[in-house]
Amino acid sequence: MIKKQKTISLLLLVVLISLPLFFLSACGPTGNGDVAEEGDSQENGETFELKFATVVNSPHAWVDTANYFAEEVEKRTNGKVKTVVYPGGQLGDDETSADELRMGTVDLMIGGTSNITSFVPELQIFNLTYLFDNLEHQRHSIRFGGPLEKKYKEIFDEKGIGLKLLNLTVGGTRHFFNNKKPVVDPEDIKGIKMRTSGSPLSTKVWDSLGVISTSLSWNEIYSAMQTGLVDSFESTIGGYDSAKYYEVAPYLSLTEHVWMMTHITMSEKTYNNLPQEYVDIICEVADEAAAYGEKLTFDAEDDLLKKLETENGVKINECNKEKFVEATAHLQDELVKDFNGEELLRMIRDKE
């Protein structure tokens, strides 16, 4: 009987010693993507710091979007969730940031979908030129909670790559920029050296028009233009302006070939382990921030064009857009087969 009591006492002692260690490891403070167990509440005094990455510098709608997110999340969590925004590629290019999200050392990122297609090839569909009839068609297709957004969230989850898609939104209109001449027709870009993103589909589209493509990260464009490695690239007006690429590429041709897709993505580790009440707030604010950033993008475009022309000496010209549409239309059905994107293309065309 005495031996049994001693054994029980020892077991109780082991359990009591282990409990504090368990709670310390489960609910430890964060600063690098480590998060508390689901179910913790705002009442326990726990605070969290999230890292939010983007490759662009201010002024740019992505930076404003991230700052809006940071302010609102902190406010709605009573200061328990703070977000530090790292603009200008401080945490690496988009692919590097996505890798950091997968490891949990970065918590959030905002950027263009074309730069994370190595992780989610199905996002390549948004690099197809003239995919949408107009801006309203695109907004309808990627609306929050719509079938296409739900489909992409399922794709992210099914891949098990450690990335949690929060939303997709419009990131601006993409045009053609170069340091050689105005571009009016597709024939004008044949033989020109062009920077393309990491998307294989995007490269195929531009190669079909006769360019000599080189895949480079966004932050390498300036030096590549200076050294003559490339003569051209495509971008939104906001990205072109914020990076001061007008200094090396003074010709802006309004091709309007893509309404760019922006994504806000979160580390799955952070998403799964933060208290649920914080996750709910983050998802709500992410949608608000994305809508806010889209409005900023399009509100600013007309003013930016005037500024670039009058203050920065940019030579802006209209294009024969119908010819560009004709030259690339056949590629849509052909290229979606590369990533089994036929259903996605159908959803977009059917305006679901």
Tens digits of residue pLDDT in 284-333: 999 999 999 999 999 988 899 999 999 999 999 999 999 999 999 999 99
Among the ranges given (22-26, 71-75, 148-152), the one the predictor scored with the smallest mean pLDDT:
22-26
pTM of the model: 0.82
Q: Is the pLDDT of residue 26 over 90?
A: no
Question: In this structure, which amino acid lies at residue 287?
Answer: D
Model confidence at 28, pLDDT cuts 50, 70, 90, reads: very low
User: Would you give the DSSP letter of residue 36?
Assistant: P
Q: Is the pLDDT of residue 47 over 80?
A: yes
- Mean residue pLDDT of the chain comes to 88
Q: Tokens in use for 95? A: 């692919």
**Residue 252 φ then ψ, to 5°:** -120, 115
343 exposure class (CB count in 10 Å sphere: 0-12, 13-18, 19+): exposed
Q: Is 233 helix (H, G, I), strand (E, B) or coil?
A: strand
Tens digits of residue pLDDT in 226-251: 999 999 999 999 999 999 999 999 99
Quick one: pLDDT at residue 24? 31
Nearest to 100 by CA among 112, 111, 89, 108: 108
The CATH number corresponding to 30-340 among 3.40.190.170, 3.30.930.10, 3.40.50.10320, 3.40.430.10 equals 3.40.190.170
Nearest to 132 by CA among 145, 117, 143: 143
Cα 342 to Cα 32: distance, rounded to the nearest angstrom: 39
Helix axes 200-208 and 321-328, enclosed angle (nearest 10): 110
Question: How many CA atoms lie less than 13 Å away from 348 in the CB half-sphere?
Answer: 23
User: Would you give the DSSP letter of residue 92?
Assistant: -
**Residue 184 φ then ψ, to 5°:** -115, -50
Q: Is the dihedral of CA 173, 249, 54, 66 positive or negative?
A: negative
Task: Kindly state the average pLDDT of the residues 256-267.
Answer: 96
Q: Is the pLDDT of residue 107 over 70?
A: yes
Q: Is the pLDDT of residue 23 over 50?
A: no
DSSP letters for 178-206: ESS----SGGGGTT-EEEE-S-HHHHHHH
Q: Which helix (DSSP H) or strand (DSSP E) does residue 278 occupy?
A: helix 276-310
Q: Tokens in use for 341? A: 């994107």
Asked if 238 and 304 touch (Cβ cutoff 8 Å), the reply is yes
Domain ranges of the chain: 30-340
Question: In this structure, which amino acid lies at residue 300?
Answer: A
